[in-house]
């Protein structure tokens, strides 16, 4: 057979009637635009970007998207698809001719190559920001549009119409080329890179100018977004080098917590989480829901739906809103137990994550009707009226699913209430652990926690019951619907059940039931209080009839018996108590101040209970103020801190707080006082600063820190104290009794007006002076000890201090790349009991054996009909067997779901009991060096994962894994050639998992390690709320929270992107060989239609069952939390 462009017939080259009248020459004319583009673009691509000597270096800081970027990519993919159709049509048409006619398919082949080159060329121009080179594309689309239009017109003149495939393909290509030409014209209009005097210069996005931004999902092209191609470098590099925070960089501006908080914040409206969500993310949610509809109607649209990251932004702004609410909490909420650290930990670690997943899954609510209606229509088309019986079974059981969903919500709320109560008690134990160990009360308080845990477990039992029923319904409803449908079809219909109808219906019933499962003032005073009545929120006044004034630049002392309201008075002045009546007036100050004194008229406050940051000694003292060496030294000397600093391993750079070394109560108190002294503020409030100090340290602090350092600086000082010997130094005295002001004035005024009170004070002052003399004599006796003994003691103290520092310093943490914790997985399974473990494995295997038997029985039944057309006796036999198997499958579905949930509940009970005992019975050094937030996280987020997340994930993992294994076995039996296609799939999965596993572990570890500082910052802020607000440092702490949130979220975002990367590649690998395997299987199984249909059904189980891969990732992540609780 000869080969030529227009064929062998000489008449094919006839141009007597005009060149355009010859179809072959018209096709040849369509080659011109493609050859032109390839001739122009290939040298540019090779010289500009392809050669090693190229001077063009593309970095992501030059990336931008030209106008119509996404539309161009969509149109290009559509054009490529049409080119493939044109090639196929041309080859088929050519095969019917005696000689080869290359003009039928050669232009289409060249068009496919040119279109592919155009998008590669466009991508390189866009990433290098060289818009002038787009002129070649503009010319190409113009020429392609003209030539295709000519071809379409010639077809029309020849009498062709829409009934002809070639005419339709050409018409679609004219439209696509015209649209792409319009896109190029729009780029010229907007960018003005040609035909205009002043081209518009466009800078890449601000995020890309910062090389620290590595999360590129919002900035890459549409293909890379859909396939997460930009993640390849990170995934592959993780195999050589561990992923750290530097490797993942920073969040883009649009993804940062502050950006999303500003979007959602609406201060002039009543607070509402739904209104905030609508204002910030209403449009993206609508777009994401649209993609969800497409994903439900078109299976291959799923990855595009996932590219919407609205739920992550919602998660980011929610954490910022919670922290902002904490900063505005009344102290009474914390002191009275209305809001605890456990509740705050629950909000940040658990409930924000649940709200994020709600936003992720909420499109299911409006996608359900679409799926159900489409499923019923397709079933009716396949089986007729018999399908309505199965659909009726699903519809009638839907209210039960709804009832189960409502009960699940009630059980979830009850469980969360008991969990909050348990965390509150646990927090109380951890805060008072030293006292509990002193009195050996650990077991008594553990019993209280265990009682609350039993209530929680009782609620969890209800939750587990309804969860298992939900899982059971999801598994059993399709079986019941299929049984009802096929039995009805067998007896009510005169037609035989065909394999194609049976297995297509079986697949539709499984799709149909899924939506139902997803349902589940200026005067001479600094401060003045007029007729003040203050309360802690109960409505009863704690402080009554308060009329006081605090003189400016003088020392005011507040004295009185324990519980008379001295500390409450300071907190009322600071605005931490609820004002029932009266006013608090603050003097603004009008005298000149130095330029450096920018905080001169703010307040410094040292609380009675010391509060330290998880930072160095220096950072705790400076507290965000600029470091001044002279002032810093004066403050540390005044507070007698220098000797203590000299003993620390790294001096004042030693980390203290929860994560740092253990300090005594006196050391912590003096650091807090030093913080107040160091600040350049006009007013200093000190709440009993001598309570944890011995007499000689108190005297030194009073003389050097208060009377000298503060008074010499003419600062207003309010001092709450029990040490009445210092009253002689006071300029103004406020005596409190039973929540009211007993006396106010100078010491001389009180001596004159209330002799009895003064005499009482004088007696107490003499007693305290005698105690001071005893301390001085004791100190002198110590000084008479021998130098040798003193030196020996110092050596012993130094050795002991070194040992303690080695154990206590928690500032350095070794980062290890962990392996898959199989031992932890086995420990979890055995914690549920060996009997339940055996029952779960046995029932799972038996259930899936029965499910396979159901499908095989159906295949045999339908095959028998198609071959022998058997009669009613055989029909009764097959219906009876099918009914028995379906009944057994339904029963085993219930057994497996109940077994998994009860095993998880037993494991959760035992693991929490062991965790509580290990923590409470731990050495005191553990509590001194381990952050409270870290311990609480074990009892909140990690316990929640064990209680509610691992059991359903374990059930889903085992179910989907066994389903895939049984599917592979059945396909191999029915279609042995499938094993040939399974080999490349296994190889591809092996290498994908090999690289993904290492990267996901690193990212999961980064997510865990970056979440701890965030949780600690939340608890740290709640504990030091009064101090932070008194210093007016809310903005600084909020900024720190935003930084920690962004650091944690970038790790979480990359982890999620890595999971999507895996999903796209595994699904793609499955579909790549789907058609080939089924074509080969069709050739083998032509003689057995039932087995062929069975092979197709199970093949879709392998290709579409992404849950094994997703659940392995989810289960692996959960095991990290479980491992923390087990060790």
Query: Is 502 a member of any domain?
Result: no
End-of-domain residue from the set 178, 200, 222: 200
User: How many other C-beta atoms can be found within 10 angstroms of the C-beta atom of residue 1087?
Assistant: 9
Angle between helical axes of 310-327 and 978-1023 (0-180°, round to 10): 10
pLDDT at 301 over 50: no
**In this structure, what is the dihedral angle of CA atoms 462, 466, 471, 476, given to the nearest 10 degrees?**
130
Query: Is 209 a member of any domain?
Result: no
Q: Give pLDDT, residue 114.
A: 92
Report which listed range, 261-265, 523-527, 961-965, is most confident: 961-965
- Two structure tokens written together for 526: 């600094």
User: Is residue 313 very low, low, confident or very high in pLDDT (cuts 50, 70, 90)?
Assistant: low
Report which listed range, 364-378, 379-393, 715-729, 1004-1018, is most confident: 715-729
User: How many other C-beta atoms can be found within 10 angstroms of the C-beta atom of residue 959?
Assistant: 24
Query: Is 706 a member of any domain?
Result: yes
User: Is residue 834 very low, low, confident or very high in pLDDT (cuts 50, 70, 90)?
Assistant: confident
Q: Give pLDDT, residue 381.
A: 66
Q: Give pLDDT, residue 79.
A: 92
Query: Is 236 a member of any domain?
Result: no
d(CA 255, CA 523): 49
Mean pLDDT in residue range 263-281 = 55
Q: Give pLDDT, residue 10.
A: 56
d(CA 937, CA 940): 5
d(CA 358, CA 354): 6
Q: Which of 543, 534, 400, 406 is nearest to 480 (CA)?
A: 400
**How would DSSP label each residue in 970-986?**
HHHHH-TTHHHHHHHHH
Contact 505, 482 (CB under 8 A): yes
* Number of independent structural domains in the chain: 2
List the Cα angle 42/45/47 in 5-degree steps. Answer: 100
Give how far Cα 807 sits from Cα of 92, 804, 832, 975, Å.
79, 5, 35, 64
Contact 506, 388 (CB under 8 A): no
Give how far Cα 462 sits from Cα of 405, 831, 907, 945, Å.
12, 20, 16, 17
Per-residue pLDDT of 1043-1070, as tens digits, reads 888 888 888 888 888 888 887 777 655 5
**Does 360 or 954 have the greater pLDDT score?**
954
Q: Give pLDDT, residue 176.
A: 92
Which residues have C-beta within 8 Å of that of residue 978, sequence separation ≥ 6?
A: 971, 972, 1077, 1080, 1081, 1095, 1099
Specify the DSSP class assigned to residue 203.
Answer: P
- Please tell me the number of Cα atoms within 13 Å of 579 on its side-chain side: 16
Residues pairing with 549 in the sheet: 528
Q: Give pLDDT, residue 689.
A: 87
The number of helix segments (H) and strand segments (E) in the chain equals 45, 11
pLDDT at 536 over 90: no
Q: Which of 520, 518, 473 is nearest to 368 (CA)?
A: 518
d(CA 1042, CA 1048): 10
* Strands 732-737 and 740-745, sheet pairing: antiparallel
d(CA 1065, CA 989): 9
Query: Is 1115 a member of any domain?
Result: no
User: How many other C-beta atoms can be found within 10 angstroms of the C-beta atom of residue 1047?
Assistant: 19
End-of-domain residue from the set 165, 184, 200: 200
590-627: burial string, b at 16+ Cβ within 10 Å, e else? eeeeeeeeebbbbbbbbbbbbbbbbbbbebbbbbebee
Contact 472, 920 (CB under 8 A): no
**In this structure, what is the dihedral angle of CA atoms 333, 335, 339, 341, given to the nearest 10 degrees?**
140
Per-residue pLDDT of 593-651, as tens digits, reads 433 343 444 788 888 888 888 888 888 888 888 888 888 988 998 898 888 888 888 88
Q: In what order do the strands lie in the sheet with 716-720?
A: 603-606, 683-687, 716-720, 555-560, 732-737, 740-745
d(CA 125, CA 45): 10
Specify the DSSP class assigned to residue 220.
Answer: S
Residues pairing with 100 in the sheet: 3
Query: Is 81 a member of any domain?
Result: yes
- Two structure tokens written together for 820: 């898959």
User: Is residue 1104 very low, low, confident or very high in pLDDT (cuts 50, 70, 90)?
Assistant: very low
Query: Is 205 a member of any domain?
Result: no
pLDDT at 1036 over 70: yes
Element (H, E) at 9: none
Angle between helical axes of 499-517 and 386-431 (0-180°, round to 10): 30
919-957: burial string, b at 16+ Cβ within 10 Å, e else? bbeeeeeebbbbbbbbbbbbbbbbbbbbbbbbbbbbbbb
Tell me the three state secondary structure of residue 88. helix
Specify the DSSP class assigned to residue 15.
Answer: -
690-721: burial string, b at 16+ Cβ within 10 Å, e else? bbbbebebbbbbbebbbeebbbeeebbbbbbb
Q: Give pLDDT, residue 599.
A: 44
d(CA 573, CA 734): 14
Q: How far apart are the first and last CA of the chain?
A: 77
Element (H, E) at 399: helix 386-431
Find the domain containing 784 and state its range.
527-799
Q: What share of the chain is helix, strand, coil (3-state, %, to 5)?
A: 70, 5, 20
Tell me the three state secondary structure of residue 754. coil
- Two structure tokens written together for 303: 């990855």
Tokens 């799709």 locate to 511
- Please tell me the number of Cα atoms within 13 Å of 336 on its side-chain side: 13
Q: Give pLDDT, residue 180.
A: 92
End-of-domain residue from the set 799, 825, 859: 799
Query: Is 570 a member of any domain?
Result: yes
d(CA 1007, CA 988): 28
Q: Give pLDDT, residue 813.
A: 36
Element (H, E) at 533: strand 527-535
Q: For the ranges 171-175, 291-295, 922-926, which has the lowest average pLDDT? A: 291-295
- Two structure tokens written together for 939: 């009892």
On whether the pTM is more than 0.75, the answer is no
d(CA 836, CA 41): 67
User: Is residue 590 very low, low, confident or very high in pLDDT (cuts 50, 70, 90)?
Assistant: very low
Per-residue pLDDT of 671-702, as tens digits, reads 999 998 888 888 888 888 888 787 778 888 88
Specify the DSSP class assigned to residue 11.
Answer: G
Across the chain, mean pLDDT equals 72
Rg, the chain, Cα only: 39
- Please tell me the number of Cα atoms within 13 Å of 597 on its side-chain side: 14
d(CA 980, CA 791): 82
């Amino acid at each position: 057979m000869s080969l030529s462009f227009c064929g062998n017939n000489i008449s094919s080259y006839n141009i007597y009637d005009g060149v355009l009248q010859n179809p072959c020459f018209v096709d040849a004319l369509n080659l011109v635009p493609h050859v032109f583009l390839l001739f122009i673009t290939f040298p540019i691509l090779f010289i500009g970007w392809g050669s090693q000597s190229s001077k063009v270096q593309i970095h992501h800081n030059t990336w931008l998207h030209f106008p119509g970027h996404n539309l161009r990519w969509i149109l290009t993919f559509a054009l490529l698809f049409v080119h493939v159709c044109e090639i196929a049509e041309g080859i088929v048409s050519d095969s019917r001719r005696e000689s080869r006619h290359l003009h039928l398919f050669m232009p289409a082949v060249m068009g496919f190559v040119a279109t592919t080159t155009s998008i590669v060329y466009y991508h390189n121009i866009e990433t290098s920001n060289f818009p002038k080179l787009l002129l070649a594309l503009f010319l190409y689309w113009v020429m392609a549009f003209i030539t295709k239009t000519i071809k379409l017109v010639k077809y029309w003149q020849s009498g062709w119409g829409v009934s002809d495939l070639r005419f339709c393909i050409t018409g679609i290509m004219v439209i696509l080329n015209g649209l792409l030409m319009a896109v190029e014209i729009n780029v010229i209009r907007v960018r003005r890179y040609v035909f205009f005097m002043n081209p518009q210069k466009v800078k890449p996005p601000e995020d890309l100018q910062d090389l620290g931004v590595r999360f590129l999902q919002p900035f890459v092209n549409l293909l890379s977004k859909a396939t997460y191609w930009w993640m390849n470098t990170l995934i592959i590099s993780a195999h050589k080098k561990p992923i750290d925070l530097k490797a993942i960089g920073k969040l883009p501006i649009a993804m940062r917590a502050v950006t999303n908080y500003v979007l959602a914040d609406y201060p002039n409206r009543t607070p509402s989480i739904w209104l905030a969500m609508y204002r910030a993310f209403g449009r993206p949610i609508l777009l994401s829901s649209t993609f969800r509809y497409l994903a439900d109607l078109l299976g291959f649209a799923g990855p595009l739906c996932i590219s919407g990251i609205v739920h992550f932004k919602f998660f980011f702004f929610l954490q910022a809103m919670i922290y902002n609410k904490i900063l505005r909490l009344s102290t009474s909420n914390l002191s009275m137990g209305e809001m605890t650290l456990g509740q705050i930990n629950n909000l940040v670690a658990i409930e924000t994550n649940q709200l994020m997943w709600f936003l992720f899954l909420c499109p299911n609510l409006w996608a359900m009707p679409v799926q159900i209606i489409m499923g019923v229509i397709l079933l009716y088309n396949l089986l007729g009226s018999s399908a309505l019986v199965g659909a009726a079974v699903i519809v009638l059981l839907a209210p039960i699913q709804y009832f189960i969903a409502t009960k699940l919500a009630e059980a979830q709320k009850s469980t969360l209430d008991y969990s909050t109560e348990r965390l509150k008690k646990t927090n109380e134990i951890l805060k008072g652990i030293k006292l509990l160990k002193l009195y050996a009360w650990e077991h008594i308080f553990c019993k209280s926690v265990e009682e609350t845990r039993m209530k929680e477990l009782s609620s969890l039992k209800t939750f587990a019951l309804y969860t298992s029923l939900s899982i059971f319904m999801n598994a059993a409803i399709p079986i019941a619907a299929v049984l009802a449908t096929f039995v009805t079809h067998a007896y009510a219909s005169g037609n035989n059940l065909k394999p194609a109808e049976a297995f297509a219906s079986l697949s539709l019933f499984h799709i149909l039931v899924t939506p139902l499962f997803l349902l589940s003032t200026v005067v001479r005073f600094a401060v003045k209080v007029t007729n003040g009545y203050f309360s802690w929120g109960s409505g009863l006044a704690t402080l009554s009839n308060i009329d006081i004034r605090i003189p400016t630049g003088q020392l005011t002392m507040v004295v009185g018996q324990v519980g008379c309201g001295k500390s409450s008075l300071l907190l009322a002045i600071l605005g931490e108590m609820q004002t029932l009546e009266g006013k608090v007036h603050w003097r603004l100050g009008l005298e000149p101040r130095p330029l450096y004194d920018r905080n001169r008229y703010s307040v410094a406050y040292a609380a009675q209970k010391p509060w330290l940051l998880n930072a160095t000694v220096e950072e705790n003292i400076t507290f965000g103020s600029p470091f001044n060496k002279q002032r810093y030294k004066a403050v540390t000397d005044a507070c007698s801190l220098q000797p203590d600093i000299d003993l620390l391993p790294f001096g004042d750079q030693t980390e203290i707080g929860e994560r740092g070394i253990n300090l005594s109560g006196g050391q912590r108190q003096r650091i807090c006082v030093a913080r107040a002294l160091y600040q350049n503020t006009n007013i200093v409030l000190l709440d009993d600063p001598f309570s944890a100090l011995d007499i000689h340290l108190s005297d030194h602090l009073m003389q050097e820190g208060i009377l000298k350092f503060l008074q010499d600086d003419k600062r207003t000082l309010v001092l709450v104290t029990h040490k009445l010997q210092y009253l002689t130094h006071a300029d103004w005295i406020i005596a409190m009794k039973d929540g009211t002001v007993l006396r106010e004035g100078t010491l001389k005024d009180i001596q004159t007006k209330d002799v009895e009170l003064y005499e009482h004070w004088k007696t107490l002052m003499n007693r305290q002076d005698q105690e001071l003399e005893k301390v001085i004599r004791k100190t002198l006796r110590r000084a008479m000890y021998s130098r040798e003994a003193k030196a020996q003691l110092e050596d012993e103290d130094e050795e002991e201090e070194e040992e303690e520092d080695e154990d206590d310093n928690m500032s350095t943490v070794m980062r290890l790349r962990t392996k898959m914790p199989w031992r932890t997985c086995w420990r979890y399974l055995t914690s549920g009991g060996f009997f339940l473990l055996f029952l779960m494995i046995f029932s799972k295997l038996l259930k899936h054996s029965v499910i396979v038997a159901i499908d095989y029985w159906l295949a045999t039944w339908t095959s028998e009909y198609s071959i022998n057309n058997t009669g009613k006796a055989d029909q009764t036999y097959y219906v009876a067997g099918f009914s028995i198997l379906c009944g057994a499958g339904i029963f085993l579905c219930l057994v497996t779901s109940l077994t998994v949930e009860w095993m998880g509940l037993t494991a959760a009970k035992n693991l929490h009991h062991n965790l509580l005992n290990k923590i409470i019975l731990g050495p005191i050094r553990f509590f001194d060096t381990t952050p409270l937030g870290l311990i609480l996280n074990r009892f909140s987020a990690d316990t929640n994962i064990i209680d509610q997340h691992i059991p359903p994930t374990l059930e889903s993992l085992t179910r989907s894994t066994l389903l895939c294994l049984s599917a592979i076995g059945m396909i191999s039996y029915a279609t042995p050639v499938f094993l040939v296609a399974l080999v490349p799939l296994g190889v591809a999965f092996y290498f994908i998992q090999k690289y993904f596993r290492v990267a996901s572990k690193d990212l999961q570890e980064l997510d865990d390690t970056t979440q701890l500082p965030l949780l600690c910052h939340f608890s740290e802020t709640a504990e030091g709320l009064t101090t932070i607000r008194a210093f007016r440092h809310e903005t600084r702490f909020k900024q720190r929270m935003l930084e920690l949130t962004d650091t944690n979220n970038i790790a979480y975002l990359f982890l999620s992107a890595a999971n999507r990367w895996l999903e796209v590649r595994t699904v793609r690998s499955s579909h790549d060989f789907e058609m080939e395997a089924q074509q080969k299987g069709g050739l083998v199984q032509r003689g057995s239609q039932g087995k062929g249909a069975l092979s197709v059904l199970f093949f879709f189980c392998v290709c579409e069952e992404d849950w094994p891969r997703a659940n392995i990732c989810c289960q692996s992540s959960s095991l990290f939390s479980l491992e923390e609780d087990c060790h």
